[in-house]
Chains A and B, each alone.
Chain A
């Protein structure tokens, strides 16, 4: 059944395209990429724009040096009174907060948690693959410090660490940087721009539907010695 449907559709397409010269190749249809593909602004400005755009989409954003990162993470978790914090297995131990009453729950790829167990956590702490300044977007590719997609989706609070050198300026730079994740590694990607939101009620953006209702981002300037 399937192969006959395939043959039928391909036949219909070829008949419909009788006006396209048989010698024409896809590359003969010119594509002009005259839009911006790179931005050469100073990187400090790019990082500043990332902060501004992410705040604009109602995320909580901090910007600091690496030395202050562990204290900031602990403070953010404590401010929300988190009891069970979910983390991917490869998260740097220096990031892990510790205070009375906090349990760290690690999602181990060899024994992944069931959805219900993930739902029983209060928040998740991860890194990211990169970030886009122009749009205030964080990109996850299931790579280092990120874990699988479900862990950043089910908890209601996502605390995400973005190194300043992970921030690119514009969308085309991000797409180019992500090429090997997709083409060579076949990894799934998630673009996150602010917390979960909807525009379905009178076309106004309302934060907080099915994804994490709070997104907190810590932008970190890497330690020069590190």
Chain B
């Protein structure tokens, strides 16, 4: 089974294909512009946004620096409230635990709330192999599940589809949809009819978690449609898969995150529905609750002192929506469940840079992602750090003829040349003569050999006939 995190095609190649798809670019441009404007408007309403961001960052920093302690506290809190806690080192272990719980209730079908953690471990495929069908209930997840595609956005997985494309998928796959229009309300109503009986009758539900509170064992799921409430309330058995970094220390900390998350993600003051539950409540909702704590590369990420801040992420997707690269290529080009700027750092950190070496380069380092991040993840800093890791990896494995290798050779030569005045001036003289064939209309448009990749998208000013130092010297001589 292919990994949901490791890109099969390097980003530059995949991006080329995506850029050629004009419908995709139109859909993405429209959607990201809409959401950017909405986010900006509701963030502007908040005088204390920067203070909230700082608290959001600091709380996650506190949790990560003492993660072992907080996880043990969460486990105790959940158990005290009547829940069961499981630990899973990787995808296979988590899938096995979910399958065993489903089988113990003879469930051949389970309903699912949208969850990136379960996408990351390809839980649906894993359950299918055990004869258990997972039914996605989020509208966008349902659309891509019916289309047999993968998500292209962490919040709106079907962002690459417009309304008429969605209508076509529903007409093909859902019953009684011959007369379906492409009005969004009608499309939503078709999904409501399709899933209604499943919600009312399915025995086991699976969810992810937006937050887990160490102090109380409270788990929180933030959503819009009510499919989350259905899954979290109606089936008698609930299984939640939560990445170990989703912890927050105390109940009080929701005062920070319930302000940061809705405004940053869907650009709403508050999302339509949020459910908070603490273990099992007698006579209200599921009477059996399992929490699976998932590692799957998070401890590897934690070990990277610069990269560890990627684990602050609350999956709002503001960085995707603002990113000029994401806006043009879409999510599929990144080849990971986590696309966009956060994916460009989180994916290599989770699986190791050697498995996703092109992703740290899938950015112009413009820094817009850092500015909008509600928990202040310095994505450009981590990108640069990971680029260095990629170079070190290729140096160690003697990889030749790669982007990274050529860059490292050039950087070394430049460092050697710039370190000494005589060498620098000699190089200038050589360049003045050597650049001749490459200069046209006052600029260098194409460089030979390994340097050609760099100059494909950039023009370079030629070295001038007289440098400042030469001019200064000649001025003194006069």
Question: Are B163 and A201 in touch, CB under 8 angstroms?
Answer: yes
Question: Are B302 and A16 in touch, CB under 8 angstroms?
Answer: yes
Closest CB in chain A relative to B417 CB, distance in Å: 36
A171 and B259 contact, Cβ closer than 8 Å, known pairs A19-B305, A142-B284, A182-B216 = yes
Question: Are B285 and A148 in touch, CB under 8 angstroms?
Answer: yes
Question: Are A200 and B283 in touch, CB under 8 angstroms?
Answer: no
Question: Are A112 and B225 in touch, CB under 8 angstroms?
Answer: no
What chain B residues lie within 8 Å of A136 (beta carbons)?
269-270
Most-contacted residue by chain B among A14, A136, A183, A209 (CB, 10 A): A209
Contact-residue bracket for chain A? 35 or more
Q: How far apart are the CA atoms of A120 and B166 in the complex, in Å?
A: 30
B129 located at the interface, meaning its Cβ lies under 8 Å from any Cβ of chain A in the complex: no
Q: Mask for A182-214, Cβ within 8 A of B = 1, else 0?
A: 110011111111111111111111111111100
Contact check: which of B27, B87, B192, B218 meets A182 at CB < 8 Å?
B218
Question: Are A35 and B55 in touch, CB under 8 angstroms?
Answer: yes
Question: Are A188 and B278 in touch, CB under 8 angstroms?
Answer: yes
Contact check: which of B86, B138, B256, B266 meets A35 at CB < 8 Å?
B256
Q: How far apart are the CA atoms of A171 and B262 in the complex, in Å?
A: 12
In the complex, the chain B residue whose C-beta lies closest to that of A202 is B31
**B interface majority secondary structure:** helix
Question: Are A175 and B252 in touch, CB under 8 angstroms?
Answer: yes
What chain A residues lie within 8 Å of B189 (beta carbons)?
208
Q: How far apart are the CA atoms of A116 and B234 in the complex, in Å?
A: 11
Q: How far apart are the CA atoms of A130 and B282 in the complex, in Å?
A: 22
What chain A residues lie within 8 Å of B284 (beta carbons)?
142, 148-150, 188
Question: Are B62 and A31 in touch, CB under 8 angstroms?
Answer: yes
Q: How far apart are the CA atoms of A200 and B169 in the complex, in Å?
A: 15
A109 located at the interface, meaning its Cβ lies under 8 Å from any Cβ of chain B in the complex: yes
B276 located at the interface, meaning its Cβ lies under 8 Å from any Cβ of chain A in the complex: yes
Contact check: which of B97, B227, B251 meets A210 at CB < 8 Å?
B227
B428 located at the interface, meaning its Cβ lies under 8 Å from any Cβ of chain A in the complex: no
**A interface majority secondary structure:** loop
Question: Are A36 and B276 in touch, CB under 8 angstroms?
Answer: no
Q: Mask for A12-38, Cβ within 8 A of B = 1, else 0?
A: 111111011000111001111111110
B68 located at the interface, meaning its Cβ lies under 8 Å from any Cβ of chain A in the complex: yes
Contact check: which of A30, A135, A186, A208 meets B279 at CB < 8 Å?
A186
A198 and B188 contact, Cβ closer than 8 Å, known pairs A31-B58, A136-B270 = yes
A200 and B138 contact, Cβ closer than 8 Å, known pairs A10-B68, A193-B271 = yes
Question: Are A210 and B226 in touch, CB under 8 angstroms?
Answer: yes
Question: Are B67 and A17 in touch, CB under 8 angstroms?
Answer: yes
Which of A1-9, A62-70, A71-79 contacts its partner? A1-9
Q: How far apart are the CA atoms of A20 and B64 in the complex, in Å?
A: 10
Question: Are A188 and B68 in touch, CB under 8 angstroms?
Answer: no
What chain A residues lie within 8 Å of B272 (beta carbons)?
57, 192-197, 211
What chain A residues lie within 8 Å of B99 (beta carbons)?
none
A91 located at the interface, meaning its Cβ lies under 8 Å from any Cβ of chain B in the complex: no
A202 and B162 contact, Cβ closer than 8 Å, known pairs A119-B200, A182-B278 = yes
Question: Are A201 and B166 in touch, CB under 8 angstroms?
Answer: yes
What chain B residues lie within 8 Å of A196 (beta carbons)?
224-226, 272-273
Interface residue count on the B side (C-beta < 8 Å): 101
Contact check: which of A16, A36, A148, A150 meets B48 at CB < 8 Å?
A36
What chain A residues lie within 8 Å of B71 (beta carbons)?
9-10, 13
A132 located at the interface, meaning its Cβ lies under 8 Å from any Cβ of chain B in the complex: yes
Q: How far apart are the CA atoms of A195 and B188 in the complex, in Å?
A: 13
What chain B residues lie within 8 Å of A171 (beta carbons)?
255, 258-259
Question: Are A153 and B226 in touch, CB under 8 angstroms?
Answer: yes
Question: Are A206 and B51 in touch, CB under 8 angstroms?
Answer: no
Contact check: which of A26, A32, A172, A202 meets B66 at CB < 8 Å?
A26
A169 located at the interface, meaning its Cβ lies under 8 Å from any Cβ of chain B in the complex: no
Question: Are B156 and A187 in touch, CB under 8 angstroms?
Answer: no
B412 located at the interface, meaning its Cβ lies under 8 Å from any Cβ of chain A in the complex: no
A145 located at the interface, meaning its Cβ lies under 8 Å from any Cβ of chain B in the complex: no
What chain B residues lie within 8 Å of A189 (beta carbons)?
274-277
Question: Are B62 and A26 in touch, CB under 8 angstroms?
Answer: yes
Contact check: which of A16, A183, A186, A205 meets B281 at CB < 8 Å?
A186
B173 located at the interface, meaning its Cβ lies under 8 Å from any Cβ of chain A in the complex: no
A137 located at the interface, meaning its Cβ lies under 8 Å from any Cβ of chain B in the complex: yes
A94 located at the interface, meaning its Cβ lies under 8 Å from any Cβ of chain B in the complex: no
Q: How far apart are the CA atoms of A190 and B277 in the complex, in Å?
A: 9
Q: How far apart are the CA atoms of A36 and B282 in the complex, in Å?
A: 36
Q: Mask for A155-184, Cβ within 8 A of B = 1, else 0?
A: 000000000000000011001100100110
A149 and B233 contact, Cβ closer than 8 Å, known pairs A20-B65, A26-B62, A175-B254 = yes
Q: How far apart are the CA atoms of A109 and B55 in the complex, in Å?
A: 41
What chain A residues lie within 8 Å of B87 (beta carbons)?
2, 5-6, 9
Q: How far apart are the CA atoms of A208 and B186 in the complex, in Å?
A: 10
A106 located at the interface, meaning its Cβ lies under 8 Å from any Cβ of chain B in the complex: no
B327 located at the interface, meaning its Cβ lies under 8 Å from any Cβ of chain A in the complex: no
What chain A residues lie within 8 Å of B262 (beta carbons)?
135
Q: How far apart are the CA atoms of A33 and B61 in the complex, in Å?
A: 14
Question: Are B233 and A31 in touch, CB under 8 angstroms?
Answer: no
Chain B positions 167-195 with a Cβ under 8 Å from a chain A Cβ: 184-185, 187-189, 191-192, 195
A-B pairs, top 6 by smallest CB distance, nearest first, are A211-B226, A12-B299, A210-B226, A16-B303, A135-B270, A209-B225
| Contacts from A to B (Cβ < 8 Å) | 1-2, 5-6, 8-10, 12-17, 19-20, 24-26, 29-37, 53, 57, 109, 112, 115-116, 119, 132, 134-137, 142, 148-150, 153-154, 171-172, 175-176, 179, 182-183, 186-212
13 further contact pairs, Cβ within 8 A, besides A14-B68, A191-B270, A209-B139 = A13-B244, A15-B303, A16-B308, A20-B66, A26-B249, A29-B58, A31-B62, A112-B283, A148-B285, A149-B233, A172-B255, A188-B285, A199-B224
Q: List 22 A-B contacts (CB under 8 A).
A: A9-B89, A16-B302, A26-B70, A31-B62, A32-B55, A34-B55, A36-B48, A57-B268, A112-B283, A132-B270, A149-B285, A171-B258, A171-B259, A175-B251, A190-B275, A191-B275, A193-B268, A202-B184, A203-B35, A206-B185, A209-B226, A209-B227
